Chain A
Amino acid sequence: MASITLENLAHSYRPNPQGDSDFALKEVNLKWDDGHAYALLGPSGCGKTTLLNIMSGLLEPTRGRVLFGDQDVTAASTAERNIAQVFQFPVVYDTMTVRDNLAFPLRNRGMEQAYIAERVDRIAQMIGLEGILGKKAQGMTADLKQKISLGRGMVRDDVNAILFDEPLTVIDPHLKWELRTQLKSLHREFGHTMVYVTHDQTEALTFADKVVVMHEGKVLQIGTPQELFEKPAHSFVGYFIGSPGMNFLPVTIQGCTASVHGESVELGQDYGQPDGELALGIRPEFVRLTKDKGLPIRINRIQDAGRHKFVNTRVFDTEFNIVVDANQEINADMTNIVLDPDKISVFHNDWRVEGRSAN
């Protein structure tokens, strides 16, 4: 096992990349620490699968280096890198039994019979395949097949890392939870470095200790779920994490006060006198509807979702979502909103800036 370092990685699928737009992956520097569970989260086309394939050796990057520990493996083949990978669609050897499927990577490496048997039994027990080890894999349901794929990924204990490429895509929604939980406990049990690629925030946040958010070929933020939620480093992270995502209002800022079309909003920190494009961001959960004070709004629509209400409004020209408690009455005279100063983030050219403590 080893840490994985990605140094100045960039990749283009074109033969002679010119501008920035030719690159599917733009200048990535990352270090995956040994034994942690990471998620690579981003919308489709953000470059996360490209990045994963570079790590597994299926793609050679246009620029940059991949290090396993101190060893440069940029040009090494997949087999030489000693990694395991689980793919989006289950890959099982149909003609083999479940047991043979699990044992396959070990047998190919000439492991001892006794070791193989013990290892296969242990993995099968952990992911609940012990009852069907003798059956042929052909004709099994997608989720069983994906379990077999997961098992084959986990069966070797000497791998440098296990990579997952949207492994729950074909799994029935009510079974996703079970597999996700099993993955977590497998990680705890074996301590492999795991990298999990997905576009689904629930999968990413639930699985990983640290989530890497990617957008348009760039890494925007690496952080714990709390950090991504409370302090998104980039406005895209704020928008992408959470449902509904963060609200943004273009502002000008003077110290502890932001001004939106002449209306002032109190901020939790002192930001000095920044210039450039500024926006304040706040999550729909941290906004309160009021009768008179605060920013003026126009309510477009109220949707009752049972446990809370979604209020869709306009603040000047900007769409603004608010989430309020289910029991709260919303009256026609609620024409303003108040933002919780401590929950406001300030973004300068889309990147979050930290202010100084207000006092």
Chain B
Amino acid sequence: MEKTANQRAWFLVLPVLLLVAFSSVIPMMTVVNYSFQDSFGGNEFFWVGLEWYRELLRSERLWDALGRQLMFSSIILLIEIPLGILVALCMPKKGWLASLCLVLMALPLLIPYNVVGTIWQVFARSDIGLLGRFVTDLGFEYNYAQNAADAWVTVVAMDVWHWTSLVALLCYAGLRSIPDAYYQAAEIDQASRWSVFRHIELPKMRGVLIIAVLLRFMDSFMIYTEPFVLTGGGPGNATTFLSIDLVKMALGQFDLGPAAAFSLMYFLVILLISYVFYTVMIASDKEEAQS
């Protein structure tokens, strides 16, 4: 009797398994296959073993892109997390102002990635862009298409503008879940504003902060559309992050083999770093809970 029930459950899971197989497992296996072969003209393949991997690990190109990528992710995490917390702390707790804030904060999140790129491409142009002109008029020499540092500042600003509200909204939800009694107790204890933040708000936001850091890290590590639209990875290779480099290699140069090896290593790097992040944060969480 109960056995039929169990098997029926498997049938229900089957469509999802098939879908996952076709959408990710099989394409992924093709990539694995490509990464061990060389191709000429698109349909002649030679087995080259680990050659592409060896070459990639020796090439400066990958290491440079990886370095830029790590740099970018660290910078935006360092800006967006504190800024998001600050914004969340400043948001009104209730009333129509709170609702208005929530809507305004959600707006950037609703804009498609390539539109964000386009907006900033125009916004920051030093000849006609509002921001670009303003900065130039202030006497700074600013041109993201020519100057690597300017390009970086623009890409970072774009990401911060696009994603800080996500961090802020997550933190806001965390803050709202703190019972009033904590604030009342702190008032009675004459705790300073800093103590309230350090000992009440921050610990209570811990859970959502872990999620915010993970989401922002993974997402920024895979950034593609915005810098591509803005500068196409330039000037030079200044904003050529891993994904842009990968596409250049695969589509621009049609080096299917190295590109496949590249994407697999890319995937492994993300997986590895996310895993390390996750275990470190969860472990410290548990340790806190048990001590």
Note whether A and B contact each other (Cβ less than 8 A).
yes
Q: A-side interface residues toward B, CB under 8 Å?
A: 56, 58, 77-79, 83-85, 87-89, 91, 93-96, 104-105, 108-109, 135-136, 138-139, 149, 152
Complex Cα distance A105/B185, Å? 10
Question: Contact between A105 and B190 (Cβ–Cβ < 8 Å)?
Answer: yes
Question: Contact between A87 and B184 (Cβ–Cβ < 8 Å)?
Answer: yes
Cβ-based interface call for B267 (8 A): no
Question: Contact between B179 and A105 (Cβ–Cβ < 8 Å)?
Answer: no
List, in ascending order, chain A residues with CB within 8 A of B185's CB: 85, 87, 91, 149, 152
Q: A85 with B291: in contact, given A94-B203, A95-B198, A108-B195 (CB under 8 Å)? A: no
List, in ascending order, chain A residues with CB within 8 A of B198's CB: 95
Complex Cα distance A139/B206, Å? 14
Q: A139 with B289: in contact, given A93-B199, A105-B190, A108-B191 (CB under 8 Å)? A: yes
List, in ascending order, chain B residues with CB within 8 A of A104's CB: 189, 191, 195
Q: B283: shortest Cβ distance to chain A, in Å? A: 14
Cβ-based interface call for B1 (8 A): no
Q: B201: shortest Cβ distance to chain A, in Å? A: 11
Q: Which residue of the partner chain A has the closest CB to B202?
A: A95
List 23 contacting pairs A-B, 8 Å CB cutoff, sorted by A.
Answer: A56-B184, A56-B188, A78-B188, A83-B188, A84-B188, A87-B185, A91-B185, A93-B199, A93-B200, A93-B203, A94-B288, A95-B199, A95-B202, A95-B203, A104-B189, A104-B191, A104-B195, A108-B192, A135-B291, A136-B288, A138-B203, A139-B290, A139-B291
Interface size in chain B (residues, C-beta < 8 A)? 21
Q: A245: shortest Cβ distance to chain B, in Å? A: 32
Complex Cα distance A91/B178, Å? 11
List, in ascending order, chain A residues with CB within 8 A of B192's CB: 108
Could you mark each residue 167-202 of chain B with 1 if its beta carbon is under 8 Å from any beta carbon of chain A, else 0?
000000000000101101101111110010011101
List, in ascending order, chain B residues with CB within 8 A of A83's CB: 188
Q: Which residue of the partner chain A has the closest CB to B291?
A: A136
Complex Cα distance A105/B190, Å? 7
Q: Which residue of the partner chain B has the closest CB to A106?
A: B189
List, in ascending order, chain A residues with CB within 8 A of B200's CB: 93
Cβ contact of B187, chosen from A79, A87, A94, A152, cutoff 8 A: A79
Complex Cα distance A83/B291, Å? 31
Most A CB contacts (10 A, CB to CB) among B179, B185, B199 go to: B185
Q: A108 with B189: in contact, given A78-B184, A88-B181, A139-B291 (CB under 8 Å)? A: yes
Question: Contact between A105 and B189 (Cβ–Cβ < 8 Å)?
Answer: yes
List, in ascending order, chain B residues with CB within 8 A of A84's CB: 188
Question: Contact between B179 and A89 (Cβ–Cβ < 8 Å)?
Answer: yes
List, in ascending order, chain A residues with CB within 8 A of B189's CB: 104-105, 108, 152
List, in ascending order, chain A residues with CB within 8 A of B179's CB: 89, 91
Complex Cα distance A83/B184, Å? 12
Q: A120: shortest Cβ distance to chain B, in Å? A: 14
Complex Cα distance A104/B195, Å? 10
Complex Cα distance A87/B189, Å? 13
Question: Contact between B181 and A89 (Cβ–Cβ < 8 Å)?
Answer: yes
Complex Cα distance A96/B202, Å? 13
Complex Cα distance A135/B287, Å? 12
Question: Contact between B188 and A138 (Cβ–Cβ < 8 Å)?
Answer: no
Complex Cα distance A78/B184, Å? 8
Most B CB contacts (10 A, CB to CB) among A83, A93, A104 go to: A93
Q: B185: shortest Cβ distance to chain A, in Å? A: 4
Given contacts A78-B188, A93-B203, 19 further A-B contacts (CB under 8 A): A78-B187, A79-B188, A79-B190, A87-B181, A87-B184, A87-B185, A88-B181, A91-B185, A93-B199, A94-B203, A94-B288, A95-B198, A95-B203, A96-B199, A105-B188, A136-B288, A138-B289, A139-B289, A149-B185
